[in-house]
Amino acid sequence: MSQTEIEKTLSLLFPEGSVVELRALRKFGGMASGYYTDQTRLAQDAAALDITHEFVGMYVVLNEINPVLLCRRANRIEMRLSKDDKATRDEDILHRRWFPIVIDPRRPSGISSSDREHTDALEKAEKIRQFLSDMGWPEPVFADSGNGAHLLYRIDLPNDSASGELIKKALTVLSGFFSDERSGVDTSVSKAAQL
């Protein structure tokens, strides 16, 4: 993904000046992490990491992070975190801004989806989007993960146990309606510090 595409995505997800954690998972264990208020710098670092082929995935924390965490790694990526270095935890989230719905093909861990599995997941995401639109939900951010699909709905909830339970129950209901032997709604993405 180009730096321009990354910047465009960040502008959809976060207000300018928000503290955003970029986390990259290494192929053979470990991670890199940085906290950013400068979206251009975040996009530059993410694009540079992407061409190294050293990482299996790069992610941002979706919800509103306590701004004091910027002091950990301000507008820079730390390439090799030690086990003592910290990343964003659920208790570091001030507010829930996104309700993520992740649709992934059913396949063994560590295996990329086939073209057909990928297409099935995208089609299922569209069915879920239509189902929720028919119920009056707003349009989501619709993202292709490369293996499956993500629907991100803007929300405004406190980071408390009641909000976490509400999101978990909503994902469970959607999974009951839409998960099958080919692909499913991931019910494990209800954490406040979800990547």
pLDDT the model gives residue 29: 83
Q: Which of 65, 67, 68, 69 is nearest to 96 (CA)?
A: 65
HSE-CB at 8 with a 13 A cutoff on CA atoms is 7
- What is the spatial distance between Cα 160 and Cα 86, in angstroms, rounded to a whole number? 21
Of the two residues 75 and 110, the one the predictor is more confident about is: 75
Q: What is the pLDDT of residues 54-65, one digit of tens each?
A: 888 899 999 999
* Helix (H) / strand (E) containing 48: helix 39-50
Number of Cβ within a 10 Å radius of residue 165: 11
Is the pLDDT at 84 greater than 90, yes or no? no
Q: What is the pLDDT of residues 162-191, one digit of tens each?
A: 999 999 999 999 999 999 999 999 999 999
pTM beyond cutoff 0.75: yes
**Among 27-31, 92-96, 157-161, where is mean pLDDT lowest?**
27-31
pLDDT the model gives residue 80: 84
